[in-house]
Amino acid sequence: GQQLNQSPQSMFIQEGEDVSMNCTSSSIFNTWLWYKQDPGEGPVLLIALYKAGELTSNGRLTAQFGITRKDSFLNISASIPSDVGIYFCAGANFGNEKLTFGTGTRLTIIP
């Protein structure tokens, strides 16, 4: 099935650095969701975006819904060890409940 393209595929950063990742699609979505998955756990919802151009924050996390509705961005400021994990974007269209997931970005913090 279709998957959204996420980049980068992996990131190796030092604690305290800011992180940026993005997600692109060939088709339009009217909902973008960002999840974080820790090893052995299910994905946990971080941020939900419902409007083109919307910029939403959740603590140190900020996500934006692209104007074209074909992309979304997630930023993490001042990374800490518990930010380690895999981040997935997911797109959906209201009225069609299926989520299309991105390929994931694995975040590793170098001591």
Partner 1 sequence: SAVISQKPSRDICQRGTSLTIQCQVDSQVTMMFWYRQQPGQSLTLIATANQGSEATYESGFVIDKFPISRPNLTFSTLTVSNMSPEDSSIYLCSVEVSGASTDTQYFGPGTRLTVL
Residues that bind partner 1 (CB under 8 A): 1, 3, 31, 33, 35, 40-45, 48, 50, 88, 90, 92, 94, 97-99, 101-104
Cβ of residue 78: shortest distance to partner 1, in angstroms? 26
Token duo for residue 9: 């595929």
Amino acid at 25: S
Contacts of residue 99, defined as CB under 8 A and 6 or more positions apart, other chains included, come to 33, 90, 91, 92
Nearer to partner 1, 8 or 16 (CB): 8
CB of 36 to partner 1, least distance (A): 11
In whole angstroms, the minimum distance from the beta carbon of 16 to partner 1 comes to 28
Report how far residue 89's alpha carbon sits from residue 63's, in angstroms, rounded to the nearest whole number. Answer: 10
Q: Which is nearer to partner 1, 90 or 107 (CB)?
A: 90
